[in-house]
Amino acid sequence: MPDRNPRYDILFDPIQIGPKTTKNRFYQVPHCNGMGHRYPRAMAEMRGVKAEGGWAVVCTEECSIHPSSDLSPATLMRLWSDADLPVHELMVEKVHAHNSLAGIQLVHNGFEVANYVTRLPSLAPGNIPTENFPHVHARAMTKADIKDFRQWHIDAAKRARRAGYDIIYTYAAHGTMTLLYQFLLSRYNTRTDEYGGSLENRVRLLREVLQDLKDAVGDTCAIALRFAVDELLGDDGMNQSEAQDIVGMLAELPDLWDVNVAAWHNDSMPSRFGSEAGQQDYISFVKTLTTKPVVGVGRFTSPDTMVSQIKNDVIDLIGAARPSIADPFLPNKIDEGREDEIRECIGCNMCTSGDYLAYPMRCTQNPTMGEEWRRGWHPVTIEKAGSSASVLIVGAGPAGLEAAVALSDRGYQVTLSEARKHLGGRVITETSLQSLGEWRRVADHRTWLLSQRANVQTFTESTLTADEIINADYAHIAIATGSHWRTDFIGLQHRQPVPIADNSTILAVDAVLNGQRPSDHSASVLIYDDDHYYLASALAEQLASEGRDVTLVTPAADIAEWTHNTLEHEHIQIRLRQLGVKIICNKHISHVDAGHVTLACVYIDTPMQVEADVVIPVTSRRADDSLFNELQNQKPAWADTKIKSVTNIGDSMAPATIAMAVYAGHEYARNLDLPAEKARFFRRELELGGE
């Protein structure tokens, strides 16, 4: 095993945080995961794996301190009473097993929640509609409420100490997500007592809570403050000027400053709209105002960038949420001189969808994320090959590449055959769109790993027929031939083909991704989005940036509707409008003619005609499963061969996200040669703690 590169030694210095000391500078900041109190064993195992991977500090997600901060239906943590302690004790035990510190982020969400389950009135600095539920109003907190609020923090902190946590957070970040931040913001805090008005008054409650926690547990636990230094709203929100004053007021009170920008879609900036270390200019002032250690985030994947952040006095600890999800063993890989093997976060934010949709988090780059306990999958170790059988994988898209990597890790002899010139499949074509460039890491990481493996043979520009496969010398065959975009408009809205005039021009998504464009640069382009994820907007952005006249039409009430779950939506809206893309919602395609398209309202079918020389349907995909079906039809011919199995995986079985394709490839590799009952095995969560 190679030694650590000396230029990264600084990343492994211990850091003092109050009464605690870290083993290095790698710090998994609090992040949501869709597991929390509902899937506590999955949550704890996931956190424990990160500690095993070298993260010196591993924190929880938001942890509600009282039933008046009920985040349902979201699945996060709770510490309302002693009955919640077993969940926390389990996580702490997993983290401490690897000599890492465990942190807990205490939160009250104020008017960000409607308390649908507990049915308690929401709390706020003043009487105001709740943030996400305008039909539910929050009530203004009285002095008695404020006294209770402080006591809830004290009680939760003492319980956290009993659970074994090392670092306890006071949370005032991510815009309106926390009551303490709501008190800081003048647009919400219109109180006229000592908790409102001047900045000093608006900071009062945060100062009191910090001091309460220090007094309650500060001799045994470190107290951290998570604070968003800028909302990117100018004078209408938290900005650099006010943030500097706040940090100056509280500089030495917390043991650790965890700083970022708000709101969440700016903090966890999608790679389509922001690069690594993108928060540096906003947070760099903090270290000039405090002697306490500072942790910050920036989707750090490059150890050289990490070193630069420390040496330039931006931060002391390398904070990470998404990079720790994509590669829980990132610190260990750097420590062991294997930084080339880091599974870099692509910033697609598939992980955040778990929080929004209340299911265990998943990751495009890391198919084991969320499966550490449920299926017993580890991100580094994998069961050895169940036989000496050889494996042929046909198709080197995300499913085929991941299957080849995992099978080679198990020790199988693998042959990977790809019809095109480059490995990567849809990842290569989709990343031809400029805004999706960082997603190419899905292909590049696996292609590089395979180039290092002696037990993998890779062939490009190699198109195999069913007869050639049957007559080849392989025991197991995986078909991963992908899918292609339909041009008949069949999707969620249209279950039958749309009428298309013979003299109209339909341009397939796959053609655009492979470089084809309308021959007339002045031709008007209409993109019809019935996929509702990222691709239609990325196509619109690309074509508009090339100077083309683009209209984006969707039957949904909003463009790229599903990207609300990946924090891309607001950025997409802004970017397309800046580029002059015309946006039409609540309309479906009625008929396509030369030079124009007839749309109809999704509710009352009112017609509308829109100029369009070229139409690009982004609706649904058809699985390229003909090779698999042909092999199945010739199954009798297998009898005289070594073939034991032919399996269809990824998009060629069921088109889905890139994350699902990677997962399918990994699942195939994990399960090969296992008994059926073991391959299908997964554990179900049962209640742990609670009342």
Q: Which of 70, 84, 212, 267 is catalytic?
A: 267
Cα–Cα dist 356/75, whole Å: 9
Q: Which of 66, 174, 532, 569 is catalytic?
A: 174
CA torsion sign, 118 to 121 to 122 to 125?
negative
Residue 171 annotated to the active site = yes
**8 A C-beta contact, residue 615 and residue 507:** yes
8-state DSSP, 474: -
Structure tokens at 195: 């908790």
Which among 448, 475, 457 is positioned nearest to 416, based on CA atoms?
Answer: 457
Q: Which of 171, 188, 282, 663 is catalytic?
A: 171
According to DSSP, the residues that pair with 458 across neighbouring strands are 416
**8 A C-beta contact, residue 615 and residue 508:** no
260: helix, coil or strand? Answer: strand
Cα–Cα dist 384/73, whole Å: 40
Angle at 629 between CA 477 and CA 458, to 5 degrees: 35
Nearest 10 degrees: CA dihedral of 18, 24, 28, 29?
30
Structure tokens at 312: 């330039």
Cα–Cα dist 524/519, whole Å: 11
Residue 351 annotated to the active site = no
According to DSSP, the residues that pair with 320 across neighbouring strands are 28
CA torsion sign, 554 to 557 to 559 to 563?
negative
Residue 174 annotated to the active site = yes
**8 A C-beta contact, residue 103 and residue 167:** yes
Q: Other C-beta atoms within 10 Å of 547: how many?
A: 11
Nearest 10 degrees: CA dihedral of 34, 37, 40, 46?
40
Which among 432, 407, 417, 430 is positioned nearest to 481, based on CA atoms?
Answer: 417
639 burial type by CB count under 10 A (0-12 exposed, 13-18 middle, 19+ buried)? exposed
266: helix, coil or strand? Answer: helix
The DSSP code sequence of 565-604 is GGT-HHHHHHHHHHTT-EEE-SEEEEEEETTEEEEEETTT
Runs of H (alpha helix) within 347-439: 352-357, 398-410, 426-430
CA torsion sign, 259 to 265 to 268 to 274?
negative
H/E stretch holding 351 reads none
Cα–Cα dist 252/210, whole Å: 11
Cα–Cα dist 247/625, whole Å: 59
According to DSSP, the residues that pair with 623 across neighbouring strands are 483
Q: Which of 27, 31, 32, 494 is catalytic?
A: 32
Catalytic residue numbers, as ranges: 32, 171, 174, 267
